[in-house]
Amino acid sequence: MARRTMVEAIRDALDVAMERDARVVVFGEDVGYFGGVFRCTDGLQRKYGTSRCFDTPISESGIIGVAVGMGAYGLRPVAEIQFADYMYPAYDQIVSEAARLRYRSAGEFTAPLVVRMPCGGGIFGGQTHSQSPEALFTHVCGLKTVIPSNPHDAKGLLIAAIEDDDPVIFLEPKRIYNGPFNGHHDQPVVPWSRHPLGEVPDGHYTVPLGEAVIRREGDAVTVLAYGTMVHVAEAAAEESGVDAEILDLRTLVPLDVETIGRSVRKTGRCVILHEATRTSGFGAELSAQVQERCFHHLEAPILRVTGWDTPYPHAQEWDYFPGPARVGRALRAVLES
């Protein structure tokens, strides 16, 4: 067991996966010699050689296209898109190819690849270093979409994703690469070494895909969150005094509707959080699922606290990011309605 940041946990997951399976190859822009702009692949090329971990041309479509071809050959590619904001040129390969290959070939060819991409805001990243495009993946049949909120889960989920035989979109909230972030941008950053989930076991372990986890037990309201927003939810519950039950969804597709249903049936109320913009965001699907499955247990309308329906701004970072104050207001509002 060691204290690790999320960056170190991800690197460790890649190291473990590459060590165990010679078919695992890691590539993307700057991931080879340099070790990645966020250091997530640091040292892997030195250890495994240039044919297992290498730099690619700046072409997202090319990166995912070759990954699909490698997967069809029998390798297990782990491709990196430098920022989730830059995945759009690869969207055709992800949606039309990786996601459909098993289905359209009736299992003759598969795409056992992982696409890692740093996502989310809270870092003054402006319009193209802050986006949360998860809903563009959850809407695509054939993909699994994963988003960890801490180093322990990041390692276990990434190893599980690499070992999974279906294509997995692995979103890494870059705001919490080096420490948890609860939205209090005016307070000093806390490192992962002071957080219990910064304890990351050595060697191989997995966190199964498709399983949510309860981060805080409570009776008053169920909060559905993932990524950075899990930490914002914890701060908001503490500060508002609302006895919220906080679920960290971890995997968005396939979704753990059982854990969600159990919690909402217990609390009778539900607040959904995400950084992504509201309209047709993943929160809409969550809201629909809760309404369909828990209608007779609901004592109040389901509320969503999300990014606004605008591009992610620069100067207005903290008016945009759904911080603990906004979440706290929603928690109180859902109790009062």
Partner 1 sequence: MTKPTPLSLHVPEPPVRPGDKPDFSRMTIPQAGRTRRPPLDTPAHDIHDLAYSVIRVLNRQGEAVGPWDPGLDAQALLHGLRAMMRTRAYDARMLMAQRQGKTSFYMQCSGEEAIACGFQMALGRGDMNFPTYRQQGLLIAQDWPLTDMMCQVLSNAQDRLRGRQLPVLYSAREAGFFSISGNLATQYIQAVGWAMASAISGDTRVAAAWIGEGSTAESDFHAALVFASVYRPPVILNVVNNQWAISAYQGIAGGENVTFAARAHGYGIPSLRADGNDYLAVRAVAAWAVERARRNLGPTLIEWVTYRAGPHSSSDDPSRYRPKEESDAWPLGDPVMRLKNHLIVLGAWSEERHRQLTAEIEEEVLTAMREAERHGTLHEGPKPGPAEMFEGVYKEMPRHLREQRTELGV
Q: Which residues are at the interface with partner 1 (CB under 8 A)?
A: 25, 51-52, 56-57, 59, 61-62, 65-70, 72-75, 77, 89, 92-93, 96-97, 100-110, 141-142, 144, 165-166, 210, 253-255, 257
**83 closest CA partner among 115, 35, 45, 41:** 115
- In the bound state with partner 1, the residue whose beta carbon lies nearer, of 25 and 157, is 25
Please tell me which residue in 129, 152, 231, 274 is annotated as part of the active site: 129
- In the bound state with partner 1, the residue whose beta carbon lies nearer, of 26 and 40, is 26
Instruction: Find the shortest distance in angstroms from Cβ 273 to partner 1.
Output: 22
Strand-pair category, 114-119 with 168-173? parallel
Can 129 be counted among the known catalytic residues?
yes
- Count the alpha carbons within 13 Å of 83 in the hemisphere toward its beta carbon: 15
Q: At what angle are helices 6-20 and 151-163 packed, to 10 degrees?
A: 30
Structure-token pair, residue 157? 């989920």
Instruction: Find the shortest distance in angstroms from Cβ 99 to partner 1.
Output: 9
Tokens 């050959």, located at residue: 73
- In the bound state with partner 1, the residue whose beta carbon lies nearer, of 61 and 178, is 61
- In the bound state with partner 1, the residue whose beta carbon lies nearer, of 52 and 152, is 52
**169 closest CA partner among 229, 212, 208, 119:** 119
> In angstroms, what CA-CA distances link 243 with 1, 31, 74, 240, 309?
32, 43, 49, 9, 29
Instruction: Find the shortest distance in angstroms from Cβ 80 to partner 1.
Output: 15
- In the bound state with partner 1, the residue whose beta carbon lies nearer, of 97 and 275, is 97
Q: How far apart are the first and last CA of the chain?
A: 46
Instruction: Find the shortest distance in angstroms from Cβ 63 to partner 1.
Output: 9
Instruction: Find the shortest distance in angstroms from Cβ 5 to partner 1.
Output: 30
Q: At what angle are helices 282-294 and 257-267 packed, to 10 degrees?
A: 60
Sort 253 into a burial class: Cβ within 10 Å, 0-12 / 13-18 / 19+.
buried
Element spanning 317, H or E: helix 317-320
- In the bound state with partner 1, the residue whose beta carbon lies nearer, of 62 and 201, is 62
| CB of 200 closer than 8 Å to CB of 176 | no
| CB of 139 closer than 8 Å to CB of 169 | no
Instruction: Find the shortest distance in angstroms from Cβ 25 to partner 1.
Output: 6
Annotated active-site positions, please? 129
